[in-house]
Amino acid sequence: MHPILFQIGSFRIHTYGVFIALGFLTGIILALREAKRVGEEPENILDLSFYSIIAAIVGSRLLYIILNYRYYIENPLEMIKIWSGGLVYYGGFLLALIVGIWYIRKRHLPLWKTADIIAPSIAIGEAIGRLGCFSAGCCYGKETTLPWAITFYPTQLYSSITALFIFLILTVFKRFKKFDGLLIWLYVLLYSITRSIIEIFRGDDRGFLFEGTLSVSQFIGIILGITSVFMLGYLWRRNKMAS
């Protein structure tokens, strides 16, 4: 683990924050390029990215605090220390989704086309950001003696690798997609599946439901996975009927 990238006196640059920032920046750059490619205004995508990033940070931190409320009741000042880790991806995704839909409707942008523009950026952003989790030591796995492990399952790296894999799949599919909305819901489906599997190997306390049967993230993943299958089928049928 390497939580501090470098330090000069009392001034510190946290590795976690650097990777999160790099993830956001890379995602924005790719989204702007994709907007140009499909004939949408990059300025709208830039504004959408700004609002979505703020919502993602607030939502992911808020859900983390809720899941660990006992600790934060006793240590309220720790709530603002996001540079040390402590973000729950689904919280950020869901709040960013709500804010994103609000902005898209406000600017009268095509909903599913716009969502497809940013879908690969979400995946590559997570692939980079999860390296920050690994550096900070959060989101760790259970103890194991596997040869590639570091006393625990490197679930942060598992998440980074699967996010990169999803990004590559979306990059291929965007060239051949038959209807708008394919990329964003394919992303949701693939992420829900891979995240739910990785959750099995997680060792940190994330909150559980149904007497410990499912983690909160697995429960959310099941709901989003079912929703994504439904939406993919619905959008495919709608496109087929319109053609």
Identify the pLDDT of residue 1. 61
Identify the pLDDT of residue 103. 95
Element (H, E) at 12: strand 11-14
Rounded to an integer, what distance in angstroms lies between the CA atom of residue 117 and that of residue 107? 16
Identify the pLDDT of residue 186. 97
The pTM of the full predicted model, rounded to 2 decimals, is: 0.88
Q: Which two tokens stand for residue 106?
A: 């406000």
Rounded to an integer, what distance in angstroms lies between the CA atom of residue 240 and that of residue 243? 5
* Helices 15-38 and 111-136, axial angle in degrees (round to 10): 160
Rounded to an integer, what distance in angstroms lies between the CA atom of residue 243 and that of residue 237? 10
Which ranges of the chain have pLDDT less than 70?
A: 1-3, 5-7, 83-85, 206-207
Kindly give, in sequence order, each residue whose CB lies less than 8 Å from that of residue 25, ignoring residues fewer than 6 positions away.
Answer: none
Identify the pLDDT of residue 61. 87
